[in-house]
């Protein structure tokens, strides 16, 4: 890891500690990122989002410190083809949860930078506000983040 | 009367059992040969060497079509297929090859495939070719794929919608069974062993 990347990660870790997500009603659990070859440009992240509040919440953007672009996709099967369809919004019902898992809803991570290795920790964030272009992960007031481990399925 | 009914029941039971008994000793039914899929093709492997139907002879093949920029189903299926292959004994492994066919030749060059596939196992064969060669092979195996539109400025992030079968080919390169990408590992390994 370069010094800059390490410094950035430390800053994010500190931010996570000093700003506990007490305000957040969304909780990310069981987060992991699929380990892919070092020359990959994409991978997928999986986790469960639990809504502890009494009102439904909508995930409008996702971000990661390891990918230049991230989106939530779902699989749709039609005409013998499986198609990934970008989800602009994902609703998490009050007191309920949404599960992102292989073969279903998943978080797409495009243009990995750097490509995380098995065992690495990656920051994943979900935001109830729509995406702002170029905004790094961990810097929006309305997002909830979690560290995910990169591993083989 | 009751005795007669009892006798008839007993005879029927014996008759029914006699029908079932041969099934107990009969060997497993062989996997049928799928004659509709396959055919001629001309591709290159991860070392840039030509690869055709003759290279599918002599070993069983577990073949899968996908693209390396696929983040979810393709790496998961590759990892699981290689996992099944690794469950075989060393001797069985020598008789089975895993073949990944890319329908994204623009990004999946032989050199790129070589580096990508080595992450799963250096023994995995990767096939690519010209757009026409790939389309022709995919047609032969009934594979459908379609490049999806991207958002403006994100052209390099294009994805495909595609069919996602794993093909079990015998030592003559004939298709013997198709598995969904979320196949049952035990079923696949049993079918592989039945052909060895």
Specify the pairing of strand A90-92 against strand A97-99: unpaired
CB pairs under 8 A between A and B: 77
In sequence order, what DSSP letters do the residues of B73-108 get, joined into one string?
HHHHHHHHHHHHHHHS-HHHHTTEEEEEEES-TTT-
Q: So what's the pLDDT on residue A24? A: 67
To test the contact with chain B by mutation, choose from A45, A72, A102 the residue with the greatest count of B C-beta atoms within 10 A, namely A102
pLDDT, averaged across chain B: 88
Q: Which CATH class is domain A3-151?
A: mainly beta
Q: Are B72 and A84 an interchain contact pair (Cβ–Cβ within 8 Å)?
A: yes
Q: So what's the pLDDT on residue A126? A: 95
List, in sequence order, every residue forming a beta bridge with A83; answer none if it has no partner.
Answer: A76
Q: Which domains, and CATH codes, for chain B? A: 43-195 (3.40.30.10)
Stretch B151-163: mean pLDDT, rounded?
Answer: 84
- The alpha-carbon gap from A61 to the nearest alpha carbon of chain B, in Å, equals 16
Q: So what's the pLDDT on residue A23? A: 44
Which one of A39, A79, A81 has the shortest CB-CB distance to B116? Answer: A39
- Quick check: A19 pLDDT over 50? no
Stretch B65-92: mean pLDDT, rounded?
Answer: 93
Question: Cα(first)–Cα(last) distance of chain B, in Å?
Answer: 57
Q: Does B140 touch chain A (CB under 8 A)?
A: no
Q: So what's the pLDDT on residue B5? A: 57
Please state the ipTM of this predicted complex: 0.74
> Which residues of A fall below an 8 Å CB-CB distance to B?
34, 36-44, 69, 73, 75, 79-84, 102-103, 106, 108-111, 152-153
List, in sequence order, every residue forming a beta bridge with A86; answer none if it has no partner.
Answer: A73
- The alpha-carbon gap from A5 to the nearest alpha carbon of chain B, in Å, equals 24
- Quick check: A18 pLDDT over 50? no
SS3 A82: strand
- The alpha-carbon gap from B10 to the nearest alpha carbon of chain A, in Å, equals 51
Domain ranges of chain A: 3-151
- Quick check: B124 pLDDT over 80? yes
- Quick check: B94 pLDDT over 70? yes
Q: Are B162 and A82 an interchain contact pair (Cβ–Cβ within 8 Å)?
A: yes
Mean pLDDT is lowest, of A51-65, A73-87, B17-31, for B17-31
Which one of A81, A84, A110 has the shortest CB-CB distance to B144? Answer: A81
Mean pLDDT is lowest, of A130-139, B116-125, B180-189, for A130-139
- Quick check: A22 pLDDT over 60? no
Stretch B30-48: mean pLDDT, rounded?
Answer: 95
Q: Are A43 and B68 an interchain contact pair (Cβ–Cβ within 8 Å)?
A: no
Nearest-5° Cα angle at B48, B45 to B147: 60
Q: Find the Cα–Cα–Cα–Cα dihedral A13, A117, B107, B141, rounded to 10°.
A: -120
Rg of chain B on CA atoms, in Å: 23
Who contacts B138 (Cβ-Cβ below 8 Å, separation ≥6)?
A: B65, B101, B103, B144, B145
- Quick check: A118 pLDDT over 50? yes
Q: Could you give the CA distance from residue A138 to residue A62 in angstroms, rounded to a whole number?
A: 10
């Amino acid at each position: 890891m370069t010094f800059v990347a390490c410094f950035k990660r430390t800053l994010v870790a500190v931010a996570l500690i000093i700003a506990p997500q007490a305000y957040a009603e969304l909780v990310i659990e069981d987060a992991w990122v699929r380990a892919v070859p070092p020359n990959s440009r994409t991978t997928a992240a999986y986790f469960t989002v639990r809504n502890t509040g009494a009102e439904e919440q909508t995930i409008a953007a996702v971000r990661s410190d390891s990918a230049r672009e991230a989106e939530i996709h779902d699989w749709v099967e039609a005409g013998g083809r499986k198609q990934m369809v970008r989800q602009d919004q994902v609703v998490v019902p009050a007191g309920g949860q949404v599960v992102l898992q292989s073969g279903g809803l998943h978080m797409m991570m495009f243009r990995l930078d750097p490509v995380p290795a098995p065992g690495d920790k990656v920051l994943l964030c979900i935001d109830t506000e729509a995406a702002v272009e170029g905004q790094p992960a961990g810097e929006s007031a309305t997002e909830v983040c979690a560290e995910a481990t990169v591993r083989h399925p | 009367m009751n005795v007669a009914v009892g006798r008839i029941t007993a005879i029927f039971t014996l008759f029914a059992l006699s029908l079932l008994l041969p099934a107990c000793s009969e060997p497993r039914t062989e996997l049928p040969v799928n004659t509709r899929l396959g055919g001629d093709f001309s591709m290159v492997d991860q070392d840039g060497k030509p690869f055709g139907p003759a290279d599918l002879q002599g070993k069983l093949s577990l073949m899968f079509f996908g693209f390396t920029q696929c983040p979810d189903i393709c790496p998961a299926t590759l990892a699981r297929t290689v996992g099944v292959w690794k469950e075989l004994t060393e001797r069985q492994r020598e008789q089975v090859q895993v073949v990944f066919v890319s329908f994204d030749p623009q990004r999946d060059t032989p050199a790129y495939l070589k580096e990508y596939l080595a992450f799963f196992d250096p023994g995995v064969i990767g096939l690519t070719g010209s757009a026409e060669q790939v389309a022709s092979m995919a047609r032969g195996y009934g594979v459908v794929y379609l490049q999806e539109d991207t958002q403006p400025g994100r052209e390099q992030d294009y994805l495909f919608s595609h069919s996602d079968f794993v093909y079990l080919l015998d030592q003559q390169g004939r298709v013997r069974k198709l598995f969904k990408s979320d196949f049952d590992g035990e079923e696949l390994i049993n079918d592989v062993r039945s052909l060895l």
